[in-house]
Amino acid sequence: MSKTGSNKIPPPKGTRDLYPQDLLRQRYITEAWRRVSIRHGFEEIAGPTFEMLDLYKKKSGEGIVSELFSFTRAGGDDDYALRPEFTPTLARMYAEHAKQLPSPCKWFTAGPYFRAEKPQRGRLREFLQWNCDVMGMESCIADAEILVVIEDLVGHLGLPEDSLGFRISDRNVVERMLIESGVASNDVPKAFAFLDKMWKMPEQEWAKSLSDAGLPEAISESVKNWATAMILIGGPRVKNPVEPPGQPFVPDSIQDIANLLASKGSAEFYSIDLTIVRGLAYYTGTVFELIADGERAVAGGGRYDNLIELFGGPPTPAVGFGMGDVVLGLLLEDKGLMPEGPELMDALSQKPASIRPEAFVIANEEGEQHIEPLLAQLRRGTERDGFDGKPWDPARYETQPMHARRTYKSTKNIGKLLADARKQHAKFAVIIENTSDAKIENLDTREEVGVFPIDEVAGALATQIGG
């Protein structure tokens, strides 16, 4: 080897060198994240790429240190860590200004994260991650909104729904069922740790994994029996399919979410898997994963109703998710859905999502049932009949996806709701007056645009916005 060659220093393991085309491919993903987030009414935030090490110790305990890139500045006394996830930063930020923030509060962010783990396909030590979170709303409306944001991202990128699906669970229900099956309360975290990884390992390794977790043999058998008896509704299990022994069990919390998803036209994309608990201890209720091709987790998240209070804020219900760019990028390439060359340039040159809300949907009691279906239509856009081109083709849509919001206020006073729409700087208000018609009002001029059949609202708005 030449002297010059011997002096080369390789990049750190688990990182990427991104040349111009590589960076454009990555930007294609991050721009898709941003467009979909904004259309769903999420506002963008950012935080530091390193935090005080105590932030992660407070959330996860001392054991988390071995999983982080932590450091002490030369000559300094403070311990820091590169962020492995965003939720603790978000909880800290929200707790700091909770009294001044709207409720609910919908935030998104996308940036670099770092984890000190063994690199492998789909998992790197440095990666980008997209997070969306809703704070201040206990209702299952928030859970459903979080799930639909991910689903709309999947649709925006053209990923085939028959190769993807959500697996939804409820940690509270799982904990109760484990205890009823013989697991002691203080052993539930160990059982959760096993469930979180059981489908990622061969079945012959389960016994050793349970033993390594410190579970007594009798309890280990209860956990195995309980896990293999769990059922999915609406699709096959990720691995090791189990035939349902009878009528499937649906927790009330998940049924409420399912009803809302059905109103958004999304019910076929979801199934129940009560072996999903997610590994992070701060989850408190609903948890979920988006699984691709039967095994790859593309996104995951759930409810963390106690975390903001842990960081000094008021009691605040919250739900959110994270999605990394590495697995998503590999999935797009595997499916032939990553544009290249001039197509990639064209895709990235398209008009971004409007920061200003283009539509604010409200309704009286008679028309309330149409809010969610109309929001879904506006945010997803209307695809042209018979379109069979690539997802980034500008000819894909008859009416382009829009930034559409709804009110979360309990009042039915239309005047107050219109004031809320103006406060959020929306361009147009859509007032669903009954089961068939909606009125569009220009909020800048305070003039009525007209009354339209509900299924023609998207086209009417597109005409106004285009004009």
Please report, in angstroms and rounded to a whole number, the separation of the first and last CA atoms in the chain: 66
* Residue entry with tokens 């962010």: 109
When pLDDT is cut at 50, 70 and 90, the band that residue 57 belongs to is confident
Domain 12-354: homologous superfamily in CATH:
Bira Bifunctional Protein; Domain 2 (3.30.930.10)
- Range of lowest pLDDT (225-229, 238-242, 302-306, 376-380): 238-242
Would you list the domain boundaries of the chain?
A: 12-354, 355-467
pLDDT score for 242: 36
> Per-residue pLDDT for 122 more than 60?
yes
> Per-residue pLDDT for 244 more than 50?
no
When pLDDT is cut at 50, 70 and 90, the band that residue 224 belongs to is low
More confident residue, 33 or 204: 33
> Per-residue pLDDT for 233 more than 70?
no
Percent of the chain scored above 70 by pLDDT? 90
pLDDT tens, position by position, 29-48: 999 999 999 999 999 999 99
pLDDT tens, position by position, 338-377: 999 999 999 999 999 999 999 999 998 888 889 999 999 9
- Range of lowest pLDDT (119-123, 143-147, 284-288, 422-426): 119-123
Q: Does domain 355-467 have CATH number 3.40.50.720?
A: no
pLDDT score for 238: 33
Of these ranges, 99-103, 108-112, 189-193, 263-267, the one predicted with the greatest mean pLDDT is 108-112
Mean pLDDT of the chain: 87
